[in-house]
Every structure is written in C-alpha cells, then in structure tokens.
Chains A and B, each alone.
Chain A
Amino acid sequence: DAGVTQSPTHLIKTRGQHVTLRCSPISGHKSVSWYQQVLGQGPQFIFQYYEKEERGRGNFPDRFSARQFPNYSSELNVNALLLGDSALYLCASSWRLAGFFTDTQYFGPGTRLTVL
C-alpha cells in the first residue's frame, strides 16, 4: 500500500512569493495534519483537517492556510514568503481525528522549501 505522498519534494522560492504544497494521505485515512520542521528542531504543528474541515490550528500567522478536498488530499498554502519559512514541511495522515483518538500519525517524505 502506498504511504503518504507529498509534492513537490523540493522547492526554491524568493521572499514575497506564494507557495502551494500538496499531500495525499494513506488510502482510507480521513485526517491530514501539516507540520513545519526547521533544521535541527522537532516538527511544529500547523493545521489538522478532518472530513474537509479545519479541526486544529497551531501558532502560525494567517499567511499559512490549508484545505482538504473530497478525496481527503490536502494543500498547504503560504503567502508572502519570508526567509524564516525555509523548512521541511511534513504532512501526516491518520484514520480518525488525531488527538481525540489514539491513531498513529503516518508522515510523508516532506517538501523541502528554501526561501531566498
């Protein structure tokens, strides 16, 4: 079975630009979460979507937004990119709403975003 997939794998943008990252969850999983991992740090929670609705949000500015589609895939959008947005962006999927249930979150390979 395919795991969580993300695209693109690498991306280079300049300050002020906009970026869209994509994630496809494991088949049958309805929850998708997004995390930002800065080099040398642990992942930091950005959003969780379940059944196409935002169910949780971390401490990130409004420049960060996301959505989930009817097929449970998800997009993360970041506007007005800053140098500090350079990071590995990880998508994780779980069968049910992570946090309310004990389902393991399975992580995708990530998208490495570099902002110049």
Chain B
Amino acid sequence: ELKVEQNPLFLSMQEGKNYTIYCNYSTTSDRLYWYRQDPGKSLESLFVLLSNGAVKQEGRLMASLDTKARLSTLHITAAVHDLSATYFCAANSGGGADGLTFGKGTHLIIQP
C-alpha cells in the first residue's frame, strides 16, 4: 500500500527566507504531484514530476523528484505572504487507476 509522508506538517516563516518541504513515499511511483490549497478552497495543481531528477520551477517555487530515494522536495525561495497556504504532495502507485495518494499537507504561514 502506497503511503505518502510530508514534513514538516506546519511551518511558520518570515518573508524573504528560503525553506524546503519534504515528501517521502513508500513504494514505487512513477509520478509525483504538488498541489496548493487555500483555506476553504479547492486544490490547485502546481507541478507534475514524471521522472527521476525532474526539476520544475514556477516563480518562487521549485519542485524536484528523486525516485531512487522516493523523495520529492518543494523549495520556496524568498518567501512572500501570498505563498501562505497548505501544500500537498501526492503520488500514484504506478499504472493503476486508483487515484492519487496524498500526504497530510504542510500548512505554511509566511509572516511579514
């Protein structure tokens, strides 16, 4: 059974700082997704990572995937208040139709 673990689960940081959210998954997965959720809102797709060594960047967010270590990271550079949200990583147990398995989410608060 695929399990996805994120850490930290809660993160409070100051604007302008850098930080990394970690996502470990327990069994082989050939793709990794990152989503953002604002309070009371639905999930917004950020990144889809498809292969070992994949790196994607959008603005101040950069995601990477190491399939050998079963680890994905979401790096935040020079954080701004607008990035405050809950971030989820999710994996799919390769080739099945059983949907995504999500981590518990990282609740990120960025303070001025």
A→B interface (CB under 8 Å): 33, 35, 40-48, 50, 55-58, 90, 97-100, 102, 104-110
6 contacting pairs across A/B (C-beta < 8 A)? A41-B104, A43-B102, A45-B101, A90-B42, A104-B45, A105-B45
- Contact status A48-B104, CB under 8 Å: no
Interface extent on B, as a size class?
20 to 34
Residues of A within 8 A of B50 (CB): 102
A56 to B100, CA, bound (A): 11
Known A99-B92, A102-B48: A58·B98 in contact at CB below 8 Å: yes
Count A-B contacts at CB 8 Å. 72
- Contact status A97-B97, CB under 8 Å: yes
Residues of A within 8 A of B101 (CB): 45
Residue from A57, A90, A105 within 8 A of B98 (CB atoms): A57
The interface residues of chain B, by DSSP majority, are classed as loop
A106 to B46, CA, bound (A): 11
Residues of A within 8 A of B99 (CB): 33, 35, 45-48, 56, 58, 98-99
Q: Does B96 contact A (CB under 8 A)?
A: yes
Nearest chain A CB to B28 CB, angstrom units? 14
- Contact status A100-B98, CB under 8 Å: no
B88-111 vs A: 1/0 string, CB under 8 Å?
Answer: 101010011111111111000000
Q: Does B43 contact A (CB under 8 A)?
A: yes
